[in-house]
C-alpha cells in the first residue's frame, strides 16, 4: 500500500519558487563527464595509494572505490584507468594531459583496452534500466582475457556496482575468483554494503571522503563561475562535501528550494495544508523538484536535530525540535525517506506525496 492516502486535487493559485538572489545567474553548464574530467581535488591519499602500487609493481587485480555520491569516485576511476593505459607516470601524479591520445580515446569511449559497464538504456521501455544487466557483466570475462591491443593493461570500470542484480554479481564474482594477468577491474560504488561480501573481500578498498569547504569552493568556482559568494557558500553547506551534489542542486533549483525548506522549518508551528498544496504545485512543475525538496527537507531536519542535541541550535531550531520528543524526529525522518522511496519507485503522484510529507512534518495530516 502507498505510504499516504489519496488527497484532494483541487486547483489553487500557485506561487513560483523564490528567485535566485543573483539576478544575473544562468543555469550552469554540467561538470565534465567523469571519463573526460581532468580535474580531481581533495583525494591525494587515494591517488598516492594507486601511485605506490604502480611504482612497486604490486598492482591488485580489483579495486573498490567507495564514498558518498558526487565526491569524485568515477572521476578517480577513469583517472586511474587513463594512467594505466598510458604507462607509468614520470611525475608523482595520475594526471594526464587532455591532449594525450589516451585521454581523448578514453573520453570518447573508444579505447580498445578499456570497457565500461553501467546501467544501460532500455529501448523497449524507453528509459534507463534500474539494474546492471547480467548480459553486460558477462562481457567482462571475455574482454579481460583478451590480449591487450596496445601491449599494456586491460581495464574495466563498473560504475554503480551496487546496481548489479544477483545474477550480474555472481557473473562478476567468477572474474574476481580467476583474474587474468595484466587486467584490472575498477568497481565504483556509493553503497558498497549492497555488494556481495565475497566481491568486497576480493577487492582493494579506496574510500573517498567528503571534501572540505576550501576544496569545494575551488571546484564550484570552476564549475559554477556565475554564482556569487553567498550562493556558492550555501551550496557548499547543502552539498555536504560533494561537488557533484552541489552541481546537481544548482541545476535543479536547489538554492530556491532550500529557501522554501528553510522557511517551512522556521515556521512549521503555523503551517497550513493549503500552503502545502501551493508548494507542491510549484515543485512538481520540474522533473527533479520532488527529489530535491525531499532530500533537502530531510537534511534540514537532521541538521536541526544535531544542532539542538549538541547545544548549538539557534532559537528557530530549538522551537522546532521542542514540538515533539527527540526520538520522534528520527521516526519522522525514516517516514519521509520511505515516502520518497515509494513515490519514486512506484511512480506515484509526487504532488500528493509532498503534501503528505508536509502533513507528517507539521502534524496536520490531510
| The pLDDT of residue 249 | 87
Q: Which DSSP string do the residues of 196-231 spell out, in sequence order?
A: -HHHHHTSEEEE--PPPHHHHHHHHHHH-TT--HHH
Per-position pLDDT tens, the chain of length 366:
333 333 333 333 344 565 444 433 344 445 679 999 999 999 999 999 999 999 898 899 999 999 999 999 999 999 999 999 998 766 788 999 999 999 999 999 999 999 999 998 878 877 788 899 999 999 999 999 999 999 999 999 999 999 999 999 999 999 999 999 999 999 999 999 999 999 999 999 999 999 999 999 999 999 999 999 999 999 999 898 999 999 988 887 889 999 999 999 998 888 888 889 999 999 998 888 999 999 999 999 999 999 999 999 999 999 999 999 989 999 999 999 999 999 998 989 999 999 999 999 988 765
Q: Is the pTM of this model over 0.85?
A: no
In terms of Cα–Cα distance, which of 247, 353, 336 is closest to 298?
336
Helix 254-266 × helix 243-251 angle, to 10°: 90
| The pLDDT of residue 286 | 85
Q: Which DSSP string do the residues of 105-172 spell out, in sequence order?
A: HHHTT--TTEEEE---EETTTTEE-SSB-HHHHHHHHHHHTSPPTTSS-EEEEEETGGGB-HHHHHHH
Structural contact between residues 140 and 115, judged by C-beta atoms closer than 8 angstroms: yes
Helix 243-251 × helix 229-239 angle, to 10°: 120
Q: Is 322 helix (H, G, I), strand (E, B) or coil?
A: coil
Strands 183-189, 154-159: pairing kind: parallel
Backbone φ/ψ region at 240: left (φ over 0), alpha (ψ -120 to 50), beta: left
Structural contact between residues 119 and 163, judged by C-beta atoms closer than 8 angstroms: yes
Count the residues in the chain.
366
Residues pairing with 116 in the sheet: 157
Report the distance separating Cα 183 and Cα 84, nearest Å. Answer: 10
Report the distance separating Cα 204 and Cα 49, nearest Å. Answer: 10
Task: Please give the C-alpha separations between residue 135 and each of 63, 140, 254, 259, in angstroms, as whole numbers.
Answer: 22, 10, 37, 45
Q: Which cell is 151 given?
A: 601491449
Report the distance separating Cα 362 and Cα 349, nearest Å. Answer: 20
| The pLDDT of residue 322 | 93
Residues pairing with 117 in the sheet: 158
Report the distance separating Cα 241 and Cα 249, nearest Å. Answer: 13
Structural contact between residues 43 and 51, judged by C-beta atoms closer than 8 angstroms: no
| The pLDDT of residue 190 | 96
| The pLDDT of residue 366 | 57
| The pLDDT of residue 104 | 96
257: which DSSP letter? H
Amino acid at each position: 500500500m502507498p505510504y499516504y492516502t489519496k488527497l484532494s486535487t483541487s486547483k489553487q493559485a500557485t506561487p513560483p519558487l523564490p528567485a535566485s538572489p543573483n539576478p544575473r545567474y544562468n543555469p550552469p553548464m554540467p561538470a565534465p563527464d567523469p571519463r573526460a574530467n581532468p580535474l580531481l581535488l581533495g583525494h591525494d591519499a587515494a591517488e598516492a595509494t594507486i601511485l605506490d602500487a604502480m611504482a612497486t609493481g604490486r598492482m591488485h587485480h580489483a579495486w573498490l572505490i567507495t564514498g558518498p555520491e558526487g565526491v569524485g569516485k568515477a572521476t578517480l576511476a577513469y583517472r586511474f584507468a587513463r594512467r594505466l593505459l598510458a604507462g607509468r607516470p614520470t611525475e608523482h601524479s595520475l594526471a594526464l594531459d587532455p591532449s594525450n591520445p589516451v585521454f581523448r580515446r578514453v573520453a570518447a569511449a573508444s579505447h580498445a583496452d578499456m570497457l565500461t559497464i553501467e546501467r544501460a538504456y532500455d529501448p523497449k521501455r524507453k528509459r534507463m534500466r534500474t539494474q546492471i544487466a547480467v548480459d553486460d557483466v558477462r562481457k567482462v570475462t571475455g574482454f579481460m582475457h583478451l590480449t591487450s591491443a596496445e601491449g599494456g593493461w586491460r581495464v574495466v570500470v563498473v560504475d554503480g556496482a551496487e546496481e548489479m542484480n544477483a545474477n550480474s554479481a555472481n557473473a562478476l564474482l567468477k572474474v574476481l575468483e580467476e583474474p587474468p594477468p595484466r587486467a584490472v577491474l575498477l568497481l565504483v560504488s556509493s553503497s558498497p554494503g549492497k555488494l556481495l561480501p565475497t566481491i568486497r573481500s576480493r577487492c582493494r578498498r579506496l574510500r573517498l571522503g567528503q571534501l572540505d569547504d576550501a576544496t569545494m569552493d575551488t571546484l564550484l568556482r570552476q564549475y559554477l563561475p556565475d554564482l556569487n559568494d553567498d550562493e556558492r557558500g550555501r551550496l557548499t553547506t547543502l552539498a555536504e562535501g560533494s561537488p557533484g551534489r552541489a552541481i546537481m542542486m544548482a541545476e535543479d533549483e536547489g538554492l530556491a528550494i532550500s529557501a522554501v525548506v528553510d522557511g517551512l522549518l522556521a515556521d512549521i508551528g503555523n503551517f497550513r495544508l493549503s500552503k502545502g498544496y501551493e508548494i507542491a504545485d510549484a515543485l512538481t512543475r520540474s522533473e527533479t523538484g520532488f527529489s530535491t525538496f525531499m532530500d533537502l527537507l530531510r537534511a534540514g531536519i537532521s541538521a536541526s536535530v544535531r544542532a539542538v542535541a549538541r547545544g548549538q541550535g539557534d532559537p528557530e531550531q530549538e522551537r522546532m525540535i521542542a514540538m515533539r520528543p527527540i526520538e520522534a524526529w528520527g521516526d519522522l525522518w525514516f517516514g519521509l525517506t520511505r515516502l520518497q522511496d515509494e513515490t519514486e519507485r512506484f511512480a506515484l503522484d509526487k504532488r500528493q506525496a509532498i503534501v503528505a510529507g508536509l502533513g507528517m512534518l507539521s502534524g496536520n495530516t490531510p
